[in-house]
Amino acid sequence: MLHLSPKPQVLITLEPGMLVGRVLRGVRVVRTHHASFGQADWAAIWENNLADLDEALGRIVARLGLSPGSEACVVFESAGALAEFQSIGAGGFEATAAARLAAAERLGVSADSACLAVRRLGRAVGEDGRAKTQFIVAGAGENELQKVYRWAERAHLRCRGAVPTSAMMLDALATRLLGWRGDEDLNLCHIDRCRSVVGSGSRRGITMLRTFEVGLTHLCEAVIRAGASLEGGRGGGIAFDRAQAVLIEKGLPQAGQVFDEESGLASRAVLPYLQPVLQRIFVELKQSFRKALREGQDGQVRIEVSGPGATIGGLDVAIARALDAEVVYLNGAMGEQGVSETWADWASDRLLLHTAAEMAERRGRVLRRAAIAGALVAGCVVGAEAMVQAHQISSLKGQIGDNAARVSEVRQFGTMCQSAVRLETQIDTARDLISSFQGDQPAWSALLREIALSAEGKVVLTEIRGVSDEKNASVVIAGLADAAVEPSPLSELIGQLQASALVGEVQVVSRRLIELDDKTSHQFRLQITAQRAPVQQLRAEVEP
């Protein structure tokens, strides 16, 4: 998650025609830099593993002052990415499994793949009166994510997750719709750079949420095509940045006006190229809001528009005329900005996608930290026992010396023979006690390795603590286990530990169900009693 913490977060946005880098501290953008590359062949760029953008990303990293190894999240636009809103007539684990399975089949990956992410939005009543569980599902192919991760690595960044632009836009509107408490339905349309997202909802839940691939970039490309037709195709044309600036400054072209004085582009030349794009927007909006438009009276349906595309003058009026609805421009953070620019206000890890290699490395880091913590605990426990034993052995040796002196006196005086016998018995007892202190000891290192191997791939350990007294030695572990998986990972862990020759007993201290990142997990604490091993065996283990 982009946490509210002093540590800065890095966000890279990769879209057709534009690459943006941002450094955020909390929800505030402290540094930003972008690079435009116009009407490049987006499919060819992906086919070439994003290598064509290496130099641009390198410049952005340098301008932002990022050090090698800095972590970054990547927001990317790709034809192969998946992002959709789902309503499933089931609840709990079954609904989540169904959502993941449907997306996995479309992407050709396993349902538990890290290339998939699911955000559970909650329960809502559908048009048929049945309760449904609603989700946003995001995903991408492993090969596609590998391209993003390696592209970041070539710029000396460490990618900690990637999210499709469309998933981020669905997440943004869903967050707004879920917070709506008004009496009337809320209808939203956000026109971003490369695509748009629309949604409807009420206090009962979300009724519609979808994206379509038309945005500010498509309007700019229409202006560019119009500019290329100047003087029968012999004109110098108009650049992407210029087309965008003129559209936002002048608004939709009006008949009889000069659209761009710099290039001499007339409105009558632009309108035929813009009309198909506008018509596509109108059709998508009519299709999306058809239920609200059908049930509402003429001109009474209210739609809030926002985003970079909505800043084009006259577009809101054209939408209102085409849909016969009231269109209101939304002021605020998302009014003029794209979703990625305000992502820090509401973003979380819930829709970040990961490669299999990155997830394996993450699990390895968790295990390494657990092993180091366990080794430190074991060292402290063994060191403390050694100090206690050394003190007791020293005391016993002193007693033996004193008793030996008294035995010498008894042997010199025959009248003290019986006392000498008793003292000799005490000496033997002391020697046995010393021997017992030098006897069996817990195999701490082997036990910690056994715990780490048993937990790997099953649970996440959050605490390892050693406990030792005169009778028993044990290790207390705490962690989280997925409660939705069968067979239970926690039960498998307990069974594997009980079967170990290094473990005497496994006691469940506590176990309870919690909700964490929209997932039900077991939070548990176990006390593992260690089997003591002979000193010679323990030394052979730690001193091979």
d(CA 4, CA 22): 16
d(CA 71, CA 162): 12
Token pair of 535 as six digits = 């000193």
- Residue 402 has a pLDDT of 64
d(CA 116, CA 112): 7
**In this structure, is residue 60 part of a structural domain?**
no
Number of alpha helices (DSSP H) and beta strands (DSSP E) in the chain: 16, 21
d(CA 473, CA 527): 10
Dihedrals φ, ψ of 253, to 5°? -65, 140
- Residue 234 has a pLDDT of 47
Q: In this structure, is the dihedral angle defined by the CA atoms of residues 376, 379, 385 and 391, taken in order, positive or negative?
A: negative
Token pair of 411 as six digits = 């042997």
d(CA 340, CA 170): 12
**In this structure, is residue 314 part of a structural domain?**
no
Token pair of 11 as six digits = 């966000």
d(CA 542, CA 217): 65
**In this structure, is residue 144 part of a structural domain?**
no
d(CA 25, CA 23): 7
Look at strands 519-530 and 473-482 and give their pairing.
antiparallel
Token pair of 46 as six digits = 């992906």
Number of domains in the chain: 1
Q: Do 29 and 9 contact (CB within 8 A), yes or no?
A: no
Render each residue's pLDDT in the chain as its tens digit; 544 residues: 444 344 678 899 998 888 999 998 876 788 999 888 766 688 899 999 999 999 999 999 999 999 999 999 999 998 889 999 998 988 888 899 999 999 999 888 888 888 999 999 988 887 777 889 999 999 999 999 999 999 999 999 999 899 999 998 999 899 889 988 888 889 999 999 889 999 999 888 899 999 999 999 999 989 998 888 875 544 457 888 888 899 989 899 988 888 888 888 888 889 999 999 999 999 999 999 998 888 876 558 899 999 999 999 999 999 999 999 999 987 654 545 555 555 544 455 678 999 887 766 655 555 555 555 554 555 555 555 656 666 666 776 676 666 655 555 545 656 565 665 676 777 667 666 655 555 556 777 888 888 988 888 888 888 888 887 767 788 999 999 888 888 888 898 998 898 888 888 898 989 988 887 778 888 999 999 988 755 444 433 433 3
CA nearest neighbour of 84 among 98, 101, 97, 103: 103
Provide the domain limits for residue 414: 360-542
- Residue 538 has a pLDDT of 40
CA nearest neighbour of 491 among 459, 460, 448: 459
- Residue 417 has a pLDDT of 58
Q: Do 119 and 63 contact (CB within 8 A), yes or no?
A: no
Judging by beta carbons within 10 Å of its beta carbon (0-12, 13-18, 19+), is residue 37 exposed, middle or buried? middle
CA nearest neighbour of 541 among 431, 409, 378, 416: 378
Q: Do 99 and 137 contact (CB within 8 A), yes or no?
A: yes
d(CA 153, CA 222): 35
- Residue 120 has a pLDDT of 92
**In this structure, is residue 382 part of a structural domain?**
yes
Q: In this structure, is the dihedral angle defined by the CA atoms of residues 166, 170, 171 and 176, taken in order, positive or negative?
A: positive
Domain of 374, CATH number, reads: 3.30.70.60
Q: In this structure, is the dihedral angle defined by the CA atoms of residues 219, 220, 224 and 226, taken in order, positive or negative?
A: positive
d(CA 157, CA 117): 23
**In this structure, is residue 537 part of a structural domain?**
yes
3-state SS, one letter per residue, for 3-61: CCCCCCEEEEEEECCEEEEEEEECCEEEEEEEEECCCCCHHHHHHCCCHHHHHHHHHHH
CA nearest neighbour of 21 among 61, 53, 50, 54: 61
Alpha carbon of 472 to those of 221, 266, 379, 467: distances in Å? Answer: 75, 90, 17, 8
- Residue 210 has a pLDDT of 93
d(CA 171, CA 149): 22
Q: Do 448 and 378 contact (CB within 8 A), yes or no?
A: yes
Residue 353 is given by DSSP the state B
Q: Which residues contact 227 (CB under 8 A, 6 or more apart)?
A: 235, 237, 238, 243, 260, 263, 265
d(CA 162, CA 347): 12
SS3 424: helix
- Residue 277 has a pLDDT of 94
Q: Which residues contact 313 (CB under 8 A, 6 or more apart)?
A: 248, 250, 251, 252
**In this structure, is residue 40 part of a structural domain?**
no
Token pair of 514 as six digits = 């919690």
**In this structure, is residue 489 part of a structural domain?**
yes
**In this structure, is residue 282 part of a structural domain?**
no
d(CA 361, CA 354): 11
Token pair of 439 as six digits = 């006897």
Q: In this structure, is the dihedral angle defined by the CA atoms of residues 271, 273, 276 and 280, taken in order, positive or negative?
A: negative
**End-to-end alpha carbon distance in the chain:** 44
d(CA 173, CA 298): 26
The CB-side HSE value for 465 (13 A sphere, CA atoms) comes to 9
Residue 330 is given by DSSP the state P
d(CA 266, CA 83): 39
- Residue 273 has a pLDDT of 92
Q: Do 328 and 305 contact (CB within 8 A), yes or no?
A: yes
Token pair of 301 as six digits = 């349906």
d(CA 410, CA 419): 7
